[in-house]
Amino acid sequence: MPEYKAPLRDMRFVMQELLEIEKHYASLPGAEDLNGEMIDAILGEAAKVAEQVLAPLNRSGDEEGCTWSEDGVATPKGFKEAYRQYCEAGLSSMASEPDYGGQGLPSSLSLAVQEMVAAANNSFSMYPGLTSGAMAAIEAHGTEEHKRTFLPKMNAGVWSGTMCLTEAHAGTDLGLLRTKAVPADAGSYRITGEKIFISAGEHDLADNIVHLVLARLPDAPEGTKGISLFIVPKFKVNEDGSVGASNHVKCASIEHKMGIKASATCVMVFEDSLGYMVGEPNKGLRCMFTMMNVARIGTGMQGLAQGEASFQGALAYARDRLQMRSLTGPKAPDKPADPIIVHPDVRRMLLTQKAFAEGSRMLAMYCGIQADLFARRPGSDEAKRAETLMELLTPICKGFMTDTGFESTNLGMQIFGGHGYIREWGMEQLVRDGRILQQYEGTNGIQALDLLGRKVLGSGGETLKLFTDDVKAFIASHKDNADMGDFVERLDALVAEWEGLVQKILGKAMTNFDEAGAASYDFMSYSGYVVYAYLFAMAAAKAQEKLAAGAGDEAFYKAKVYTARFFFERLLPRTRSLVETMTSGADNLMGLDEGSFAF
């Protein structure tokens, strides 16, 4: 199994050098006291938990999986103790409100911790990840009574949380859901229905599980306009806050999955279960989006995490594995063969993994800063701008980061050759665990349609322009820098092309909506490469600045510039084929009669 080490040096570069997060925190309400020393201490403590507590359980958890019985779901050996240590380290309450037991730390700092946890043990990360999302929804839309009743226990890790959206007949189309909510006594409701694919829906890590459930009131209109959101705990809560009687919430079964086997994916049945409405009647989907957007960025982080873990395993193996001689002569003449890291094709795969991990880390943290501004400066122009940028970048985070993360895990397995296919090395587990990320929290096809249809075309290109204006400002500020010439020139051409593509697709979609659907996935991928190009250009400029100033750590900064050049020269050219496919029209997809698909 690969030995995971938290990439703290690169995290510090992204947070403290590239994005100057200390300046960001200094002007962020509630975060003014955070300094570099405190940031390093928090990340260091999280790294210890990830490396020493969670990573050793990754393979054993995969081998053992979760176990269902009439009494509930048992997690693999060691998970309960690991969860206790995770919570005692303060990692369960980082970004939550202090009034309810949270630490009030910025979302951006919490995201960095999420990466480490998911890279060390992706299955484990699902349990606190779902709880964090549920807490975010209750904080944003719950009543004061809801917050006082549920959040302190959830912050402490004594209770956990889920989101219950999907039903077997509906899938992503939530407008088709059938779960019912009938008014009961004292403003409560009785919830009846069945939900599937509920991550962390049942387990033995916490004393109570707080489900956030989408359901319909008796007089609700059809479709998504008739959905309300309810808090439905596994056990009722007594007046003194203790766990009470059963609330008739049962796990009917758990799924037998390809990966993340130590995460319980449950079929949940609600039988006249007591619930409490969150937000307004028939406005539940809007409330749930608070949780879903947190989850989508978190899913992107998981894609980054699996790619990073695979890169670390592949790099260690490539340095040790002896096979053939270098094409330019022996590099280890004292050994019977050279380590495979000397071969160009292995370098291609390693550098692709490295570039995707570093690009994803920069994008995630950039989004984290926008989330901070949106949450901590409500109503301000700065918050509105940050919200718009988040709307644009969230589907790219979820879609592109999980696509590239999965590509990276496959490359890591490939570097091992035949050994990569063998379970004991741990590389195939990363492939299996990473594959689901492209499917849940809205498939990547849904993310692509959301990006192009709602966020870009729906705004007439204005949402994209907000981001490209920043890119253009960066280009203008570096146009006279000879060391940045190639980066700036290519980036300038891409931004102009990006904006032109929007107008071209918009023109076609005005007469045929299928044109947007046909272009959407390639557009999302194209957008991901351009966003990464911008971030890599920023990273190269910062690294060159540090080298010119003689800041030390010369090898790190040179590698940063090199990786940026690799990305621009080896990965960014993929945009050429994406332009061809996204502009080829809808007819090559929709023109074939359905009956002709048969064989």
**Predicted local confidence at residue 288, as pLDDT:** 77
Closest CA relative to residue 193, chosen from 176, 173, 172: 176
**Predicted local confidence at residue 598, as pLDDT:** 84
Which of the 8 DSSP states describes residue 54? I
**Predicted local confidence at residue 368, as pLDDT:** 94
Residue ranges, the chain, pLDDT below 70: 290-291
Sequence-distant (6+) residues with CB within 8 A of 197 are 166, 255, 265, 440
For residues 134 and 137, give the distance between their C-alpha atoms in angstroms, rounded to a whole number: 5
Closest CA relative to residue 290, chosen from 109, 450, 461, 163: 163
**Predicted local confidence at residue 213, as pLDDT:** 96
Closest CA relative to residue 359, chosen from 408, 310, 409: 408
Q: What are phi and psi of 390, to 5 degrees?
A: -65, -40
**Predicted local confidence at residue 291, as pLDDT:** 67
- Residue 580's Cβ-count burial label (10 Å; 0-12, 13-18, 19+) is exposed
Q: Please tell me the pTM assigned to this model.
A: 0.96
Residue 441 is a catalytic residue: yes
Residue 92 structure tokens:
């369960």
In the chain, the N- to C-terminal Cα span, in Å, equals: 43
**Predicted local confidence at residue 599, as pLDDT:** 75
Longest dimension (CA), the chain: 82
User: Distance of CA 15 to CAs 24, 43, 112, 271, 287, Å?
Assistant: 10, 11, 9, 47, 30
Residue 194 structure tokens:
């069945």
Provide the residue type at 446 as one letter.
Answer: I
For residues 478 and 485, give the distance between their C-alpha atoms in angstroms, rounded to a whole number: 8
Q: Which of 139, 167, 441, 515 is the catalytic position? A: 441
